[in-house]
């Protein structure tokens, strides 16, 4: 399918280009030292990850350890309550550890092992990426250093405990505001020091090239499975595909399976409390072009041009930018980006739980809320949503903040 001069038949051969660009977005805006490290990863990726040995090992792990393929569930009761549109969810909540993040962590740490590295390094905010990476590191017997701000360590005690039980070192970052931004800087500094023995594992389709491409490729299993399963279940493709967008990894994984199909694709960003800067994290909807954390994308900036403060009820979505490929697909118009508020999300969280027996992650509930809205406007057809994770982690917070419904 050709869309605005981009041929999606051959899209993955050309995007990103050799230098990691999706159109004008992406690239690698980093120190010379880190450039060497990235070049090493880039070369390893293109040799190791294309080898039958690597691919077969990753397939075996996905089946025997992660429990893939994850199913698609038809939400019959919810669909009937809304009208004639049929809603479906891809169940990444049933992937081991309860979310999609393990898909790229297993790929990244397997690559580290093939490269002969001894350690993996990352930062974490809410702790979800840290837990997924600590899980992968435990599986492969690798050392694992997770950088985390003092403030987040205090807020995310259960995830800190999980990481420690899994054998990771949680490295406390005390300077500045002691949250995610400082943790990112500290983790990158550690990587620049240790890259001979270690590899940095990014948590989404973000950061300098080759990470946005690598993480997309590792997550593409979501879209590949979903497309085949949906065809098998219904004999057709869905009319619309929906996923929530924080950094953008579960959505890129899902979307990559459908870019070349006559399917409407929707990326859902968190509107939080409203449209004022600081009240949301809808970077693609309200942001402008800019460089942060080593790549060019669309971002939310404060008056000095620095990354703006962001907010969402979903801590996995409150990042002031999104991956460069999303910025590209946004400008191209191939994916439509739209927003869902905290209140709509919490409604969807309870509705899906009550009507279908699935408690969604509060991030994923954004996609469900949007799919429910679409169902009302479409009148007929089918919508496939990515249920990126399960909601056990969010229950206490939702009840405390919004009350039991």
Ligand X SMILES: *Cc1c(COP(=O)(O)O)cnc(C)c1O
Residues that bind ligand X (CB under 6 A): 99, 101, 128, 204, 244-251, 316-317, 361, 363-364, 388-389
Q: How far apart are CA 255 and CA 270, in angstroms?
A: 18
Q: Which of 120, 115, 114, 152 is nearest to 134 (CA)?
A: 120
Phi, psi at residue 74, to the nearest 5°? -80, 125
> In terms of CB distance, is 356 or 363 closer to ligand X?
363
Which of 247, 294 has the CB closer to ligand X? 247
- DSSP-H helix ranges across 235-361: 249-256, 283-286, 324-332, 342-356
Mark 135-149 as b/e (b = at least 16 C-beta within 10 Å): bbbbbeebebbbbbb
Q: How far is the CB of 266 from ligand X (least distance, A)?
A: 14
> What is the rounded distance in angstroms from the CA atom of residue 198 to the CA atom of residue 208?
17
CB atoms within 10 A of CB 308: 20
CB-nearer residue toward ligand X: 208 or 248: 248
- Measured from each CB, the residue nearest to ligand X is 389
Annotated catalytic residues are 101, 123, 388
* Cβ at position 379, least distance to ligand X in Å: 29
Task: Kindly state the smallest distance separating residue 344's Cβ from ligand X, in Å.
Answer: 16
Alpha carbon dihedral 107, 313, 360, 249, in 10-degree steps, equals -20
User: Which CB sits closer to ligand X, 364 or 382?
Assistant: 364
Whether the CB-CB separation of 254 and 90 falls below 8 Å is answered with yes
Q: Kindly tell me which of 68 and 101 has the beta carbon lying closer to ligand X.
A: 101
- DSSP 3-state of 51: coil
Shortest Cβ 123–ligand X spacing (Å): 13
- Cβ at position 250, least distance to ligand X in Å: 3
Place of tokens 């954390």: 293
Could you tell me how far CA 212 lies from the centroid of its own chain?
11
């Amino acid at each position: 399918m050709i869309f605005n001069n981009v041929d999606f038949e051959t899209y993955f051969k050309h995007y990103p280009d050799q230098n990691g660009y999706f159109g004008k977005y992406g690239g690698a805006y980093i120190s010379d030292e880190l450039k060497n490290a990235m070049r090493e990863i880039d070369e390893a990726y293109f040799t190791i990850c294309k080898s039958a040995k690597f691919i077969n090992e990753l397939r075996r792990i996905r089946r025997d350890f992660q429990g893939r393929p994850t199913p698609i569930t038809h939400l019959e009761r919810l669909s009937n309550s809304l009208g004639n549109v049929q809603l479906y969810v891809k169940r990444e909540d049933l992937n081991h550890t309860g979310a999609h993040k393990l898909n790229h962590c297993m790929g990244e740490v397997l690559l580290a092992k093939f490269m002969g590295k001894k350690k993996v390094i990352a930062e974490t905010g809410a702790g979800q990426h840290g837990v997924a990476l600590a899980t992968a590191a435990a599986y492969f017997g690798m050392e694992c250093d997770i950088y985390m701000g003092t403030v987040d360590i205090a807020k995310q005690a259960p995830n800190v405990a999980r990481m420690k039980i899994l054998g990771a070192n949680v490295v406390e970052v005390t300077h500045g505001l002691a949250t995610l931004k400082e943790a990112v800087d500290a983790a990158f500094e550690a990587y620049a020091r240790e890259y001979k023995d270690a590899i940095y594992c990014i948590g989404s389709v973000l950061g300098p090239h080759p990470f946005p491409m690598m993480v997309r490729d590792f997550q593409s299993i979501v879209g590949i499975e979903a497309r085949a399963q949906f065809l098998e279940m219904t004999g057709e493709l869905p009319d619309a595909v929906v996923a929530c967008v924080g950094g953008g990894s579960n959505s890129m994984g899902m979307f990559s399976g459908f870019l070349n199909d006559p399917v409407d694709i929707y990326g859902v960003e968190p509107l939080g409390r409203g449209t004022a800067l600081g009240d949301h994290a809808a970077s693609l909807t309200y942001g402008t072009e800019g460089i942060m954390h080593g790549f060019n994308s669309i971002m939310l900036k404060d008056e000095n041009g620095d990354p703006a403060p962001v907010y969402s009820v979903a801590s996995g979505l409150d990042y002031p930018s999104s991956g460069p490929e999303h910025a590209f697909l946004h400008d191209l118009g191939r994916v439509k980006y739209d927003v869902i508020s905290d209140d709509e999300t919490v409604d969807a969280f309870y509705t899906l739980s009550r009507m279908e027996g699935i408690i969604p992650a509060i991030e994923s509930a954004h996609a469900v809320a949007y799919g429910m809205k679409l169902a009302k406007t479409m009148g007929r057809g089918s919508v496939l949503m990515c249920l990126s994770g399960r909601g056990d982690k969010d229950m206490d917070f939702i009840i405390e903040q919004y009350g039991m419904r």
